[in-house]
Structure 1
Amino acid sequence: MNFKSLRAFQLAAERGSLSAAASELCLSQPAVSRLIALLEADLDLKLFDRTGRGLSLTRDGKLFYDTTKHILAGVEEIPRIARNIRTGDQQFNILTTPRVAQAVVSPALSLLRKSNERLSCSIDLRARFELDSAIASTRFDLVLASLPLNPSHVPIETKPLFKVRIEAVVPNDHPFATRCCLTADDLAGETLIGPWRNPAWRQQMGDALPAIDFSPSYALETHSSLMAYQMASDGAGIAFFDRLSARGLNTVAVKFVPLSPAKWITFGYIHPAGKPLSANALNFIDAIRQTILDFRLVSDDNANAVHLA
């Protein structure tokens, strides 16, 4: 089994044709076909059905691809890893969401770059609902996201890092803007913004809003928490957000009003099981903690809304 055979299989599976795989590998189509035949012989598996209409994965081929795609994704990183070793580049790869990237990844990387100008970092941004599958197919050193995460086929280790209090975001001229807190009864009948039909979000919110009838009160849906925040800022309704994630956003037009009882969401970092964290990753985690501490020092409201785990 060799690198080219695995790469040929990966490309053929993802592109759906030998010609596309051959074009990307700069090989002839018969050469790619031979590479895949060699892999099938090594594995003693039939990976593809070859028909006049093209190429399709067999049942075994699909299972092999689904269970090894994270390995295959890592295979194509080998030349870059070797190059980094030769040149001394200090790169590491982060997989996260736009919300977390804005809240903590950007300021933490800024801190690190001030002390280590050779540091380079690849940041892959995905929607929260895409992360479970992305972990299985993407090479990463760290994943930063709300917990829990339950990717299939990939053994991981998870550590909590910080937690944020969820608050209602309302325009300045909204009657709730002067309230010290809001209950589920207060929110019943209001125009709410959020991915209410998303099971993960409902699980995260838990019992914070038990009295709300989600169907009549449901008005606007988006998988983007940043979009929900912007719609609340523009006066479209009430969104649910946290102060830390609003770092860098325009907060002039809105008020954050805590929910009662308080609802907290924990964020943490995930890394491949059994793989020690690199010095870069450890320094990055320390920089995130420092970012949280700096944010808490800005005001009492910040300190009450964000805690290190």
Structure 2
Amino acid sequence: MDLLSLRYFQVVARHEHISRAADELRIAQPSLSRTIARLEADLGVPLFDRQGRRIRLNRFGAAFLRRVDRALAELDDARRELTDAAGLTHGSVSLASETLLTVTEPVKSFIADHPGVAVRLFQATPEVMTKRLNEGQVDFCLASEELEGPGLVHTELVREEVLLGVPLGHRLAGREEVTMADLAGEPVVTTRPGIWQRTLAERLFAEAGLELVVACEIDEASTGIEMVSAGLGVGFGPAWYLRSPLAARTPFSAVRLAVPGAERVLRLYWREGAYVSEAARRFRDRLTAALTVA
């Protein structure tokens, strides 16, 4: 049993699919299968249940994965701590976020001030963010949905108003504010389930006793505004973005929502007790300063 086989097992366990794991690891599928087979032989138990070409992590695999995640996270922390001893010349920091638009400017300024630090960014759903954080794949997660899991801590960066984007010429365009009653029957451009815009829309419509009519499902805020501008429907968005120069390039009208709870809470998460390198601490400080006043 070696570290490489443990890391391979971790990726296979995450995908529960040999070929997808092999693609991520950039190795041949037969080689990965042999590595997993050797690991199971060393342990004396199967880690996966095999059903034809499909595999599923079994109870032995789940128990082993918890220990592997913990062990590899400790080793990754040790590597970061040693790298930290060399200062900011060869450091690294990684962040997963629901959208990368939010972090563009602070990341740009951080890289300019610390060119020796390798910055890695991942766009992910809340579920994937939580998994990456628990497995030690990222230092931080930036999320508007609450991330749940043992050992996760967070700081609230900003609590901001959510506005309604409507197409120009729409009956609600130009209004100072609207209520949920005004949105009865309106088609809505929103995100896939599990992302904060969709969660907010579902909650506001349910609390008002209205049906949410989804006209279009998107992943990125900028795409949503394009679809609103095209006339597919109305859409919810954070005030900072709907009033930003990025959104100003797209013709639409931003209207206030006279609705209790129409807000977004942006939080920065990390693992409690995990080693935070000097580069990561400075990156966290930069994000906190930039987004808290955004």
Q: Is TM > 0.5 for Structure 1 vs Structure 2? A: yes
CA shift in 2, pair 1:167/1:269, >3 Å: same
Asked if structure 2 preserves the Cα contact closer than 8 Å seen for 1:22 and 1:28, the reply is no
Superposition TM-score, scaled by structure 1 size: 0.72
1:279-298 pair list within 5 angstroms: 279-292=278-291, 295=294
Asked if structure 2 preserves the Cα contact closer than 8 Å seen for 1:4 and 1:35, the reply is no
CA shift in 2, pair 1:150/1:72, >3 Å: same
1:31-180 pair list within 5 angstroms: 33-38=37-42, 40-41=43-44, 45-48=45-48, 56=55, 59-64=58-63, 67-68=66-67, 70-71=69-70, 74=73, 84=83, 88-98=89-99, 101-103=100-102, 105-128=103-126, 130-137=128-135, 139-151=137-149, 154-180=150-176
Partner-residue secondary structure (3-state), 1:277: coil
- 1:3 to 2:3 alignment: yes
Distance 2:71 2:284 in 1: 27
The structural deviation recorded for 1:255 is 2.0
Asked if structure 2 preserves the Cα contact closer than 8 Å seen for 1:8 and 1:35, the reply is no
Matched letter for residue 269 of structure 1: L
Asked if structure 2 preserves the Cα contact closer than 8 Å seen for 1:191 and 1:237, the reply is yes
- Partner residue of 1:249? 246
2:18 to 4, 7, 16: 16
Q: Which runs of 5+ in 2 are unaligned?
A: none
CA shift in 2, pair 1:65/1:178, >3 Å: farther
CA shift in 2, pair 1:205/1:112, >3 Å: same
Matched letter for residue 243 of structure 1: A
Matched letter for residue 177 of structure 1: A
- Partner residue of 1:236? 232
Partner-residue secondary structure (3-state), 1:213: coil
Distance 1:22 1:2 in 2: 19
Superposition TM-score, scaled by structure 2 size: 0.75
Distance 1:196 1:31 in 2: 36
Matched letter for residue 96 of structure 1: S
Q: Deviations over 1:30-82 (max 9, x none)?
A: 776444422x15xxx4425689x679556233423653564477589689859
Question: Larger Rg: 1 or 2?
Answer: 1
Moved more, 28-37 or 170-179: 28-37
Matched letter for residue 153 of structure 2: E
Distance 1:125 1:28 in 2: 27
CA RMSD of aligned residues (A): 4.0
CA shift in 2, pair 1:223/1:116, >3 Å: closer
Asked if structure 2 preserves the Cα contact closer than 8 Å seen for 1:208 and 1:259, the reply is no
The structural deviation recorded for 1:123 is 0.5
Asked if structure 2 preserves the Cα contact closer than 8 Å seen for 1:49 and 1:56, the reply is yes
